[in-house]
Structures are given as C-alpha cells and as structure tokens.
Chain A
Amino acid sequence: MQPTASIADMPLLVLEPSKGFVRPNLGDVWEYRELLYFLIWRDIKVRYKQTAMGAAWAVIQPVMTMLVFSVFFGHFAKMPSDGVPYPVFALAALLPWQLFAYALSESSNSLIASQNLITKVYFPRLIIPIAAVLAGLVDFAIAFGVLLLMMGYYQVMPTAAIFLLPLFVGFAIASALAVGLWLSSLNVKYRDVRYTIPFLTQLWMFATPVAYPSSIVPEQWRAILGLNPMAGVVEGFRWALLGQVRPSLPLLSVSVVAVSVLLIGGLVYFRKTEATFADLV
C-alpha cells in the first residue's frame, strides 16, 4: 500500500456556476494534449479503416475537382491563371480550400458526433473541434504529394517563398477552427446548423479565389475580398508555392484581422456555452 500524498498538497478544484465573462481555458487544453493526440489518431485510423479506398480519397477529391475546373474554367472559360498552367493554379488553391472545408464541416459536427463522450466524461470540450480540424492535415499531406508531382510535371519551380507555406497552412487551420468553434457550439443548440454547412461551404468556395485569381476582382474591392479569410489563405498559399503574384497586402491584413476576431470570439463563445453542452447535446 502506498501512502497517499498529504491532502494539503492535492490540487483544489472549485465548481461553481460560471458567471459573466469566462476566460477561454487554453491551459486546460495543453494539460489534455495526450487526449487530443488520441482523438486525432482515432479519427484518422477509423476513417482509413472504414473506407474501402482509404487514403485514395485524399487524392481523388482534389484531383477530380481540379480536372473539372481545368476543363470548364481553364479550357472553355479561359480563366486567367497568373501565368501558371491552370491545373497547377487550381490544385494549389484546392488543397488549402479542401483542408479548410473538410476541417470546417468536421469540426462543426464534432460535438454532436462526440455526445457519448460529452455526457460521460470531463475534459476540455475545446479538444473536440480542435481534433476534428487537425485530423484533416493527413489528407492534406497526401494531396500535397500529388501537387508536388503536378508541379514537377508542369515544371513549375517553387521560390524561396515556400518557407512561408506552413504559415498559410496554419492560417487555413485557424480559419476553419474559428468558424468551426462558432458552428459546433451553435450546432449543439440548433440542429439547423448541420444542414447549412454543405450549403455554406459551397457558397464560400465561390467567394474564394479558388477557380479564379483575385486579380480579376477590381482593385478597390480586393481588401473587401479579404474579409473572407480564405481569400488571404488561398492567395498566400499560391504565392508561397508557385511564387507568381504576391498577394495584395491590404487583402492579407484584412484576412488576418478577420480570422483573429472570429477566432477570439469563437473561443469566448465556445467557453461560454460549453457548460451547457452536456445538458443539450
């Protein structure tokens, strides 16, 4: 028998109704990082076990979309592509876009999908949408390999800007999480949210320079386009990888501000509502 530590040394936990403003508990998330890791690992493992084609999906989706875009927008509509072959131009935008879209829809549904955990065990609820967002990185990494092959085929050489790529990937993740935090907590309360997500991502894609370059948007509107953080992400990603057109600075800064506001607001809103998740979900 091991003598238990003196009771005075044990941590004191106080449970009280939360009132007013509550600070997001990021420290708690760090404390539970192993659980975060296990949840990501589970999501990835289960998905590749359950689907017959497994990892092939990560390639098929962006490649098929790229083909369709290349035929209709690139070939028939003669969409400008900033001097890079259109297929590479499209795929370079589709990757961050699909990372975002996947992360967004997974995180928005994540709390409901984890209701068995939420009603039975305590852990910082923030882990659930974060795990859902990060699990999308595996698909992204696989698809990224395809993009590199495509670039080799079209002989597009990356420039030094490629070192900024992780920054834009992180930016895409942050955007997805920012929106995902809002939608996942709203989804617990209002199940309507679930039905709006496919619709939302579809509309959002057209508002994002995926199939077209942002240069076709008139100069004075470009900063406004930046209100859509994914515009900044896609433009920045393309630039970092293909090194053709530097993204407009006003657009990028507006995007950064937009994401920061959404993310902080999302964290606060999530924290405020998370106490009721177990009662509602």
Chain B
Amino acid sequence: MSETAIRVQRLGKHYRIGERRQYGALRDTVTNTVSTSFRRVAALLQGAAPPAMPPPSNSFWALRDVSFDVPHGGLVGIIGRNGAGKSTLLKILSRITEPTEGRVEIRGRIGSLLEVGTGFHPELTGRENTFLNGAILGMKRAEIVRKFDEIVAFAALESFIDTTVKHYSTGMYMRLAFAVAAHLDPDILVIDEVLAVGDAGFQKKCLRKMEDVAKQGRTILFVSHQMNQIRRLCDTCLWLDGGRLRQQGPTAEVTSAYEAGPGVDGPRPGDDERTAARFTEWQLVQPGTGNTNILDTMATVTLRLFLKVNRPIRYAHHGIALFGAERQLMWATATDGIHLDVGVHQLTYVLPTLPIRPGNYTWQVSLYEDGQLIDLWDCSPDLIVATIPRTHPRDAWAGCLNIPYEFESELVPVEAAVVAAGPA
C-alpha cells in the first residue's frame, strides 16, 4: 500500500490517574518540590547519593504499542469497550492531545468530529452559530458562505435560522449541529460516536450522508458502539482492548470476534448497607455448561439474581428488562406484591428459550417499594451464543431475534399448481 492516509506506529499515551480530573493545587507542587529538593540537598551534604525522584504513583497507559495503517479512501471502524483507548486514539489523531510515544503520519487535511455542536453558544442565532461552529471545525468563511443554504436545508431549519439557539429544542439543536459537521470536507474525517444522537429518522439521514462522504473517496475513521453502523459503513475494523490493538481486519471478522468476547458478569462490585435492599449478583445458569456466559439460546436458560435485603420490605415491585446493544428494549416484565425479609434472596427466572443474536446485552433489574426506587442495576455481560445464527447474512437485515426456523422449497406437481393458482 503506497497510498497510506494514516500511518500509526507504536503509538502510546500515558496518563497519571486523576490527571484528567484533578488539577493540582499550587501549594502541593510547591511543598513537594521544596521538600524533595531539601531531602536531595541534605543527602548530598551527607555524602550520600541523592535519592531518586519518586516514580509517579498511579499511572496507566491509555494506549500502548498501537500500530496500523489506513489506506487512502479507507473506511475504518474502531470498536472496543469503554476505556479501551478509542477516544484517546481519536484525540491523538485529531491533535487534541500529544502522544507519549510513537509516531503518526497523516497525509491530507484532517477534520475531526468528536462532538457535534462544539462551541455552539446559546445566546447566538442559528446563523451565527453555523459560522462560529464551522470556523471551529476548520472551515473557511468563504466555504461556510457557499454551503450555508445547503446546511440549513439539511437541518430543515429554514424558518428558525435567525432564532437564538437557546430557544431551539434538543432535536433542532442537534440537527443544526450535525448539519454543519456533515458539510465539513477534509481528506480524512475522524468521527466519534456522534451518530448516537437524535431520533432514528435523523440518525438514518446522517448515516446516509456519511455513506455519501465515503463514496467521494475520503478516508474515514469511525468509532461506534453500534455494531450495525460499523458493519454498514466500514470495510475494516480495529478492535482496541485495554489500550492495545487486539485485532484488525475485515469488519465482519473483527466485529463477530468482538461480540463473542468474554464479558463481565457475576458479583456486583461495592456494597451499601444503608439501602433497604441491593442486587448483588447476576447469574445465567444452563444445565450442561459450566460457563455462565455461554448460552444455547434454544435450550432452557435460567437467570438467577441475588438480592440482599437489609430491612423487611412489603409489597415490593420488581422489574427486569433486557436491552439490546443500542439500548432498544427487547423484553421486560415485572412482578408486584413481593414480600422480602432480611437476608439474601435468590430470584430465579426460567426462560424456555431466549432467541437472541450474539452481542452486548444489558439486563436491567429494579426494585421498588411504594413507588420509591430502592435499587436499579444495569448488568451488561456478553453472551456467547452457542447456537447457529439463523439470521440474514447481511447485517442490515439480521434483525434482533434469532428465531429457529425450517424452510423448504419444492416443486408442486402441475395439476396441483393450477388448482392453487385458481382458474386462469
């Protein structure tokens, strides 16, 4: 590949814990510097070697040893769990932060979209914000002037463009913000999860716009949690895990490996004695398999929850819901009038079948007393579905259920066909 748009070599980014959130107080730095210097001077005077500077206490690599090439015109998806380093990678590529080690070579004008509506000011009108936001995203004034009508039309805000943005609804705001961003045309576009906003209709419109952009031969790097968007848009995929590049290759391969990867389940971290009750553990039990993640969705599945009750509860309301990767509700049910005594309770659901596709699911369990929420727990394990996918090979048509079916096609004898079709 001679036409490389982005070449990333052994890229690493190091953070000290708390660096992102806590800024130093001048006092601490002054006292630390002074006291360390004193100690060093004292040690020198005593003829001893100066003690080494203490190593940074809590530090971690948000990204380490990541290397990959993106060909010119490539459409690359970046997937991974929260904290896997996706955002850090995008921040380095978009020059927001510097790498700690390694090297990136970028050929072409790069534009990044880590957020829609960056720099929007509520006191300014839609028109003013379009210009401001466009300039912030790196567009020239003349370019914005040229595309202005197109942007407004895309956002469908013709009659509100001179209204102050603070009077916009969230939907209008997002539409305008995305419309500006969508008209950015750098050679390389870096996009973070921005399509997770807006209603389904607008999301579709945005996705189509991105497909158009892609067809014009631009290079796109796209982060998303939504595998269907990744599958629809991207040719190849990078899977980041714990700051390292775990797998790269054709999208279908990487995404299915990702979706099958082991997840988190079991005991819930932390404990709180003050609440009346708390869900403590989530288990999926299947006779025959020891692993609680592997799931033969066509066989009986037993879901077990442990609930620690700290004081007696009468007439509790308990709900359970299953959400898909895009937070769409797959299934939910609830039970009223449960009496719970102090102690650990085991709540069991037996599902004769759970015809879902492999992927990230979230189980949400809740407990209410007199309409007051006592506990709500989102548990997101990954399920390895041991059954064969019985869905459409193309993701756009795969749907969310994995319904077992039988299908046959046979030739009907001529006389019978005539009867079935009716008189000619």
Q: Give the residue name and chain of the B residue nearest to A280 (CB).
A: B23
A160 within 8 A of B: no
User: Does A77 have its Cβ within 8 Å of any Cβ on chain B?
Assistant: no
Interface residue SS majority, chain B:
loop
B99 contacts A190, CB within 8 Å? no
Q: Which residues of A contact B25 (CB under 8 A)?
A: 190-192
Q: Quick check: B119 and A116 within 8 Å, CB to CB?
A: yes
Query: B96: nearest residue on chain A (CB-CB)?
Result: A278
- Whether B218 sits at the interface, judged by CB under 8 Å, is yes
B253 within 8 A of A: no
Q: How far apart are the CA atoms of A18 and B93 in the complex, in Å? A: 15
Q: How far is the CA of A34 from the CA of B132 in the complex (A)?
A: 10
Q: Compute how far the CA of A2 lies from the CA of B187 in the bound complex, rounded to whole angstroms.
A: 12
* B residues contacting the other copy or chain, number (CB 8 A): 55
Provide the bound-state CA to CA distance between A50 and B122, in Å: 11
B 66-116 contacts with A by CB, 8 A: 72-73, 91-110, 112, 114-115
B390 near A: Cβ within 8 Å? Answer: no
Chain B neighbourhood of A50, CB < 8 A: 123
Q: Which residue of B lies closest to A122 (CB)?
A: B95
Chain B hits for A279, CB < 8 A: 15, 19-20, 97
Known contacts A4-B187, A122-B95, A188-B23; A14 and B107 CB within 8 A of each other = no
Evaluate whether A280 and B19 lie within 8 angstroms (CB atoms) in the complex, with A15-B95, A18-B98 already known: yes
Residues of chain B lying within 8 A (CB to CB) of residue A193: 26
List B residues 139-173 near A (Cβ within 8 Å): 140-141
Interface pair A121/B119, CB less than 8 Å apart: yes
Q: Does B193 contact A (CB under 8 A)?
A: no
- CB pair A15 B106 closer than 8 Å: yes
Interface pair B72/A120, CB less than 8 Å apart:
no
Q: Which of B73, B92, B104, B138 is the one whose CB lies under 8 Å from A14?
A: B104
B14 nearest CB across to chain A (Å): 10
Interface residues of A in 170-197 (CB under 8 A from B): 188-193
| Contact pick for A46, options B108, B110, B124, B218, CB 8 Å | B124
Binds B, one of A5-13, A92-100, A149-157, A247-255: A5-13
Task: Please list the residues of chain A having a beta carbon within 8 angstroms of any beta carbon in chain B.
Answer: 1-4, 7, 10-18, 34-35, 38, 41-42, 45-46, 49-50, 116-123, 188-193, 275-276, 278-281
A-B contact pairs, 14 of them (CB 8 A): A11-B107, A13-B95, A15-B92, A17-B101, A41-B132, A42-B121, A42-B128, A46-B124, A50-B123, A118-B96, A119-B96, A121-B118, A280-B23, A281-B23
**Across the A-B interface, the 3 shortest Cβ-Cβ residue pairs:** A122-B95, A190-B26, A10-B108
